[in-house]
A and B are shown apart, each in its own frame.
Chain A
């Protein structure tokens, strides 16, 4: 390149660079025929100036120095190409730095010199044209994955939804009622689950996992492992008689391993999580099943009218090709054992355990009981920030939803136990959504939920009661309450196996293990790899509304991609 123009953009962000010195130094570099400082290049009048200079000075190379290329490269590339140059004839480089003016200016000149070398060495890029396979893979069948699947399917494209457990629905279906509307999730989510199961454009692979991913945007090849359920789902009609007759009762992961006095929360070795499972097909837990562990018992075989039990079933694999992937792998809660100053006790529960007890579709049909003795608790303490906002022993971030779900559970408890009393130990009350603040005030005004400002230091059993040592920083008093039940607001973590999944997809995770978005403010739904989008809590803690919004947003990204027939992959080439 022999006629390079260097455009030194300045605005408030670039105030700490001496533009005159930069322009003077750069205009002396070989090949540079134009070097000048401009105000606010990134907006329309600025871009017009660039185009004019390209035409008038017959430039064959353009270097723009600005702030972030991630945000501005495209804008300049379009302006330059519309003036007749090609992609490889423009470079955008970031010259911001944080020292004194002299150092910043010197550094800027160094950066620009290196960028000039790269520009001069640039050759026309290699373009690979990839025809887009207009099918999408959605990983995770929680509410975000369901929303994304339905929106893309409604848009007319094939969706393959892979879910690790044997029913879609995610965590939402486990809850009692959702804030702030107090809708029952079994009522509002199951229609969506049914729609997903019935939709012509959606194929659900439940009890399956992602084995391997290769390829790129437009053409991802994915190997899916269908785990052995030991039940032939094609022959099975979902009558569930096997689950009634199975003699082996064990603690249930769906019920968060709640151990209730009458074993109400137990499941069988052959089981479905709940009455509205999609697909309605059981699996056999091989580690608990008497047939596998002791070599005897074929009760399910004898019971099944369709001869669907298949003890010899193996994991099977299938390969699919998709043009885009949506990751909606969800979250898990930090285990209670992580907080050592709180005892491990049957009456010290985490949020979702208490949800199951409150839930009208749950193991106690909504009757509030204590796991230790089955009696109705008359006093319940809720503890916020268990593990969250704790850089020293837990995670430094706020888990966003606990303030709301703890007060929601307190309110639901008060509705179930009219003579009960609740205490919420908090540091702050975060109510950022629509109707959230009013919800909290209603709980305080009408249901007499008592908020005590102070983190609990120790929680332990004393005879029949659980003692909580907290403080009320507002009055300056140490507070002790002896309650019947304690519910901990544990921190939200990325779901188990998220890192392994991210590695298989080749996408980045952040320092806490959540899938990393391309830009936290402006590109929250795109992963670090083109064609792989994010939705829901896998990207960071959030409530159901935001998960649904992100599911829809990811769907729109996929639909925009599928509106084209091919994608152009550009590889920059230098000599």
Chain B
């Protein structure tokens, strides 16, 4: 089965570890992630302004690209891209006047007809493949690995794009359970990491990151799994600074859920591109005998 795939800028560069592990895993699960041609940056953040449409052009243009391939569904792995594309899609579907304005403005593009559905990879795993099928394909169960699933903001807020219950999500935990890991629920699993404030107020982001990490550590998590490259940068990269400041903190590996998926499906760890993770997760995986050589 082929599924239209929108990578977004970060997944092609800084978060290549997410993309490579995702594409390889999905192949094993029977789905080819077909990158849509001529995609552009989605704009990163959905524009909340009600009096302008200019910032919806970028995401809608991507949906036109999907439409051109003849497909009605597009999957994103980056949570931010997912959120922006899906919200823009809902805006024009519910607002024929805005749809008309955008289509008319982009006169050189075909009109967007509003027939594309935007999904996140976790939804595809849950709805199109199913946890049981995934369990059956697991070659290397992640036994003994205590993973805390971290959702951040963009997968669950606002309510109309949420891929699961806004306050009590289980979707990532269900995947990790199917992969054989021990799922650690912790109170900060939907708390914001600080997001784009990392460019203007990195100190505040460090504080947020410490709150989130320490909450997971108090619940005895070995590692944290997530989906968003911005959360990944904040939670992973900031740890170096925290390790220097706190003698009792040794770091906690951060995984993209796709890396854990690839590992559990028995794929070569090379495809996980662990060298792009900031805190090296390989010692942890070795200690749990989860790294095949």
Direct A–B contact in complex, judged by CB atoms less than 8 Å apart: yes
A: residues with CB less than 8 A from B are 340-341, 343, 458, 460-463, 467
11 new A-B pairs (CB below 8 Å) besides A340-B167, A340-B168, A341-B167? A340-B165, A340-B166, A343-B187, A458-B187, A460-B187, A461-B187, A462-B187, A462-B215, A462-B218, A463-B218, A467-B187
> What's the least CB distance linking A480 to chain B, in Å?
11
Nearest residue (CB) in B for A343 is B187
Q: Which 9 A-B pairs have the closest CB atoms?
A: A340-B167, A460-B187, A341-B167, A340-B168, A340-B165, A462-B187, A340-B166, A463-B218, A462-B218
* Complex CA–CA separation, A467 to B188 (angstroms): 12
> What's the least CB distance linking B137 to chain A, in Å?
33
* Complex CA–CA separation, A462 to B188 (angstroms): 11
> What's the least CB distance linking B214 to chain A, in Å?
11
Please name 14 pairs of A and B residues whose Cβ atoms are closer than 8 Å in the assembled complex, sorted by A. A340-B165, A340-B166, A340-B167, A340-B168, A341-B167, A343-B187, A458-B187, A460-B187, A461-B187, A462-B187, A462-B215, A462-B218, A463-B218, A467-B187
* Complex CA–CA separation, A341 to B215 (angstroms): 17
* Complex CA–CA separation, A153 to B188 (angstroms): 59
Nearest residue (CB) in B for A460 is B187
> What's the least CB distance linking A58 to chain B, in Å?
65
From residue 6 to 58 of chain B, which have CB atoms closer than 8 A to chain A?
none
Q: Mark B151-172, 1 if CB is under 8 A from A, else 0.
A: 0000000000000011110000
- Output the residue of B165, B187, B215 with the most chain A CB within 10 A: B187
* Complex CA–CA separation, A343 to B185 (angstroms): 12
Nearest residue (CB) in A for B187 is A460
Nearest residue (CB) in A for B191 is A458
> What's the least CB distance linking A112 to chain B, in Å?
43
Q: Which residues of A contact B165 (CB under 8 A)?
A: 340
> What's the least CB distance linking A479 to chain B, in Å?
16
> What's the least CB distance linking B208 to chain A, in Å?
13
From residue 165 to 206 of chain B, which have CB atoms closer than 8 A to chain A?
165-168, 187
Nearest residue (CB) in A for B188 is A460
Q: Which residues of B contact A463 (CB under 8 A)?
A: 218
Q: Which residues of A contact B215 (CB under 8 A)?
A: 462
* Complex CA–CA separation, A460 to B187 (angstroms): 7
> What's the least CB distance linking B159 to chain A, in Å?
10
Q: Which residues of A contact B168 (CB under 8 A)?
A: 340
From residue 213 to 262 of chain B, which have CB atoms closer than 8 A to chain A?
215, 218
Q: Which residues of B contact A467 (CB under 8 A)?
A: 187
Q: Which residues of A contact B167 (CB under 8 A)?
A: 340-341
* Complex CA–CA separation, A461 to B186 (angstroms): 9
- Output the residue of B165, B168, B215, B218 with the most chain A CB within 10 A: B168
* Complex CA–CA separation, A460 to B168 (angstroms): 12
Q: Which residues of B contact A341 (CB under 8 A)?
A: 167
Q: Which residues of B contact A462 (CB under 8 A)?
A: 187, 215, 218
* Complex CA–CA separation, A294 to B166 (angstroms): 42
Q: Which residues of A contact B166 (CB under 8 A)?
A: 340
* Complex CA–CA separation, A462 to B218 (angstroms): 9
> What's the least CB distance linking B245 to chain A, in Å?
22
Q: Which residues of A contact B218 (CB under 8 A)?
A: 462-463
* Complex CA–CA separation, A74 to B49 (angstroms): 57
* Complex CA–CA separation, A226 to B126 (angstroms): 48
* Complex CA–CA separation, A130 to B187 (angstroms): 66
* Complex CA–CA separation, A341 to B189 (angstroms): 12
Nearest residue (CB) in B for A342 is B167
Q: Which residues of A contact B187 (CB under 8 A)?
A: 343, 458, 460-462, 467
* Complex CA–CA separation, A462 to B166 (angstroms): 20
> What's the least CB distance linking A470 to chain B, in Å?
15
> What's the least CB distance linking A191 to chain B, in Å?
46
* Complex CA–CA separation, A461 to B218 (angstroms): 12
> What's the least CB distance linking A43 to chain B, in Å?
53
Nearest residue (CB) in B for A467 is B187
* Complex CA–CA separation, A340 to B156 (angstroms): 13
> What's the least CB distance linking B272 to chain A, in Å?
32
Q: Which residues of B contact A458 (CB under 8 A)?
A: 187
* Complex CA–CA separation, A458 to B188 (angstroms): 10
Q: Which residues of B contact A343 (CB under 8 A)?
A: 187
* Complex CA–CA separation, A61 to B277 (angstroms): 92
> What's the least CB distance linking A414 to chain B, in Å?
29
- Output the residue of A343, A461, A467 with the most chain B CB within 10 A: A343
> What's the least CB distance linking B1 to chain A, in Å?
34
Nearest residue (CB) in B for A462 is B187
* Complex CA–CA separation, A343 to B215 (angstroms): 16
* Complex CA–CA separation, A343 to B186 (angstroms): 11
> What's the least CB distance linking B213 to chain A, in Å?
15
> What's the least CB distance linking B93 to chain A, in Å?
22
> What's the least CB distance linking A489 to chain B, in Å?
19
> What's the least CB distance linking A271 to chain B, in Å?
34
Q: Which residues of B contact A340 (CB under 8 A)?
A: 165-168
Nearest residue (CB) in A for B168 is A340
* Complex CA–CA separation, A463 to B187 (angstroms): 11
* Complex CA–CA separation, A458 to B168 (angstroms): 12
Nearest residue (CB) in B for A458 is B187
* Complex CA–CA separation, A460 to B215 (angstroms): 12
* Complex CA–CA separation, A461 to B215 (angstroms): 11
> What's the least CB distance linking B110 to chain A, in Å?
38
> What's the least CB distance linking B157 to chain A, in Å?
12
* Complex CA–CA separation, A341 to B187 (angstroms): 10
> What's the least CB distance linking A460 to chain B, in Å?
4
* Complex CA–CA separation, A343 to B187 (angstroms): 9
* Complex CA–CA separation, A438 to B204 (angstroms): 45
> What's the least CB distance linking B229 to chain A, in Å?
26
* Complex CA–CA separation, A99 to B120 (angstroms): 51
> What's the least CB distance linking B183 to chain A, in Å?
16
* Complex CA–CA separation, A463 to B220 (angstroms): 12
> What's the least CB distance linking B162 to chain A, in Å?
12
* Complex CA–CA separation, A391 to B168 (angstroms): 21
